Structure 1
Amino acid sequence: MDRAELYAVLDRYLAALQDRAPQRLRWAEGAKTSENNVMLEIGDGLWGTIDRLGDYDLRFADTRTGQVGFFGVTHEHAEESGFALRLKVAADGAIEEAESIVVRQSDSGIKFLNPRFWDKAVMNSPAEVPTPRAEMIALADGYFSTLQQNDGTIRTKFHPECDRVENGVQTTRNPEFAYVVPVAALGCEEQFRMGNYRYDDRLRGRRFPLVDEERGIVMAFGFIDHCGRIKEYQLTDGRTVQSPIRYPHSFYLAELFRIDAGMIRQIEANFITVPYHMKSPWDGQ
């Protein structure tokens, strides 16, 4: 399927979701759906509680694998939540897989205050200098390897202006986020060179199911495990800081990497707390 056809399937899915009408869609035989890392029956979960979608609409497609992705916002009662969605579509337009994350702050063990969801020009334009598919995946995987037990070593390539947005909050070049990240005023690479994320013990179950080669976007899924044993640690500039997570804990994440000219230009992630070391229903890792 081409991009327009995949976007048409996405539009039908979102319209049906907003109307709580999964029966309007064409589902492949044996179709699988998950919400927040749990397999559900078609029509369960958000399908029964959504009031409306928000205005934020970031979409991307992998025409080689027949997959389409979406980052947006859902509203349920008084709850505004970041929303990530991946659909795998058969050649005849039937939906084979639907994987979603709904970042409900009321359920969150670690809250990101004052989230907002806004269009970013860099995420909505074609790559100026396209990067080969395998290299795009390697750069995204290298980001996770840089984050895992972060000691200041860089295992990917960052654009000098790379920024990151997580659960609707910019977590780079944002001094207001220092209540969670002491080096929040720095850019992506500078934060990692400081070794700030030492407490991220494992980046596990990494999957890269969707690669939009034209737009330069990789959609990745995985888990961040925190053993919770680190109380304090030293940054590479000599400062001693406290770990924000002091108990066994895991995040399940959907993360976008915008890549141009062989460098990560922008990152956007939605993630939730799940039981420690929870496995993926998609690959069991």
Structure 2
Amino acid sequence: MITARGGGLEELLGEYYAALAAGDPGRLPLAADVTLTENGQRIAIGTGLWATAAGVAGSRVVTVSEEAYGPGGTAGSVAGWGMITEGGADGANALLGVRLKTTGKAISEIETLVVRRAPFGRTTFPERLLEPSAAMAQILKLADRGTREDLIQAANGYLDGVSRDDADLIPAADDCVRIENGLQTVLNPDAEGFPETFVSSGGLGGLGLGVRAQIRTLAFRYIEDIRDRRFVAADTERGLVLVCCFFDHPGKVRDAGFDSPIAAPNSMLIWELFKVAGGLIRRIEAIGAAFPYGMRAGW
């Protein structure tokens, strides 16, 4: 039986990564009808990344779990991400997000997001992705905690504000930090971690600005919609809520009235983890990769 967090949900995530590196799904308590998706595609256990993974980092960058109770015992969901290698001894690094849903006795759902390209034109992934995020793991004071519904409302406010170019919808603290695929994309005036070619080309506008200030520059008009939002795990003790969703980018549309930094249409599958304390978003950590325009997640 899969036990509760502190006895097992978060440990189960580590067991998944270890089994993946060994290429041995038989190590895991899998339901007979378990569903696996890799980058939005339903595939068979043992195929895809299961056949190419060669090693995993010793710890995850972030982990969020949410318990539920049912006739099978303690059930729930756990998700997180960390670095892996694939393709043999000389293989490349990749960033892997994993979401597991359990019935209490077995894993019934496995969703994975594999980011194989280093962010923003880099040739390597940032070293930050090899270390756990201490800020996300911190337990909140009772007075700063909200309900699951409060966490979802704050996250939706952010996503609505970004997609509608309306900073007033975003309940973010002025010092809120956002990390995307390991790089800090707000409050980073020196563009630390970004290659010079990306910065000189215009890249992501306003790296030195805060979350809401960036939106006020209309730098994200190229985002057409943020859709198919799934709030897959929430931890009120730590103020965490994870949303899996798509950012739609129509590309350089004729007569759009602005120049999109994304030339061709795509949809980015994004896993975005929010830390909310005192009703405000204090930190955002996200991973994502680009896929064909209009893609669905397979769930």
Whether these two folds match at TM > 0.5 is yes
Give, in whole Å, the separation in 2 of the partners of 1:192 and 1:170.
Answer: 16
CA contact (8 A) 1:154 1:193 kept: no
Q: Which runs of 5+ in 1 are unaligned?
A: 235-240
Question: Could you tell me which amino acid in structure 2 is paired with residue 31 of structure 1?
Answer: V
Alignment of 1:2-13 (within 5 A): 2-4=4-6, 5-13=8-16
Give, in whole Å, the separation in 2 of the partners of 1:186 and 1:62.
Answer: 33
Q: 1:194 to 1:231 in 2, by over 3 A?
A: farther
Give, in whole Å, the separation in 1 of the partners of 2:133 and 2:255.
Answer: 35
Give, in whole Å, the separation in 1 of the partners of 2:132 and 2:214.
Answer: 24
1:216 corresponds, among 229, 235, 239, to 239
Report whether the alignment pairs 1:200 with 2:204: no
1:263 corresponds, among 275, 280, 292, to 280
CA contact (8 A) 2:167 2:213 kept: no
Measured against aligned partners, the alpha-carbon deviations of 1:119-154 in whole angstroms (never above 9, x if no partner) come to 33211111231111101001111111111142x433
Give, in whole Å, the separation in 1 of the partners of 2:11 and 2:125.
Answer: 29
> Per-residue deviation at 1:103?
0.4
Measured against aligned partners, the alpha-carbon deviations of 1:106-125 in whole angstroms (never above 9, x if no partner) come to 8x8x7456531143321111
Measured against aligned partners, the alpha-carbon deviations of 1:29-63 in whole angstroms (never above 9, x if no partner) come to 21111111111101111111111112451212101
SS of residue in 2 equivalent to 1:43: coil
In structure 2, the partner of 1:20 is 23
**Root-mean-square deviation over aligned CA pairs:** 2.2
CA contact (8 A) 1:112 1:167 kept: no
> Per-residue deviation at 1:277?
0.4
In structure 1, the partner of 2:150 is 135
2:66 corresponds, among 58, 62, 66, to 62
Worse overlay, 31-40 or 73-82: 73-82
1:189 corresponds, among 187, 199, 212, to 212
Worse overlay, 29-38 or 115-124: 115-124
Question: Could you tell me which amino acid in structure 2 is paired with residue 207 of structure 1?
Answer: R
In structure 2, the partner of 1:170 is 184
Measured against aligned partners, the alpha-carbon deviations of 1:62-85 in whole angstroms (never above 9, x if no partner) come to 013600111111111432122211
CA contact (8 A) 1:231 1:246 kept: no
> Per-residue deviation at 1:12?
2.1
Percent identity over paired residues: 32
Q: Which runs of 5+ in 2 are unaligned?
A: 69-74
> Per-residue deviation at 1:208?
0.4
Question: Could you tell me which amino acid in structure 2 is paired with residue 101 of structure 1?
Answer: L
2:269 corresponds, among 252, 255, 263, to 252
